[in-house]
Amino acid sequence: MTVVALNNPYRGEVRDREENFHGQRLLFIGWEDHLMFCAPHCIPVGSETPFSVLATQILPGIYGQHPDWARVEIDKIEWFRSGERFTPKFDATLAENGIGHKGLVRFRTPGLTGINGSFS
């Protein structure tokens, strides 16, 4: 998620650099069609975290309170990395899947569009 300063050269100290997170990276993650979560969550994760851990352990911890989550089929999720559709390698790390510091991962669960189809 690149930001361009309109007042170049930018002179402020960038405080959200990866080296400031003690071996963690920031990951933005959002669930499409579920506006109960109005914006992507930002979580710290290790770059060596397997994608399978994100999908099967981290996501349920974030989104498990939503009534649709019980019907999510992990193998049917449509994944997006920085706005582009991609097919993750579940046995590879986040870094190996091309997900870097401050990366954005969004996912869509076909057939699930919020509480009673309300997109909430």
Residue 10, Cβ neighbours under 10 Å: how many? Answer: 11
Cα within 13 Å of Cα(45), Cβ side: 28
CATH at 110: 3.10.20.560
pLDDT at 97: 97
Q: For residue 96, give both structure tokens.
A: 């190996």
Overall number of domains in the chain: 1
Q: What is the pTM of this model?
A: 0.86
Q: Rounded to an integer, what distance in angstroms lies between the CA atom of residue 26 and that of residue 1? A: 11
Residue 85: give the domain boundaries: 22-117
pLDDT at 71: 96
Question: Would you say residue 65 lies in a domain?
Answer: yes
Q: Which residues of the chain have pLDDT under 70?
A: 1-5, 10
Q: For residue 98, give both structure tokens.
A: 């091309």
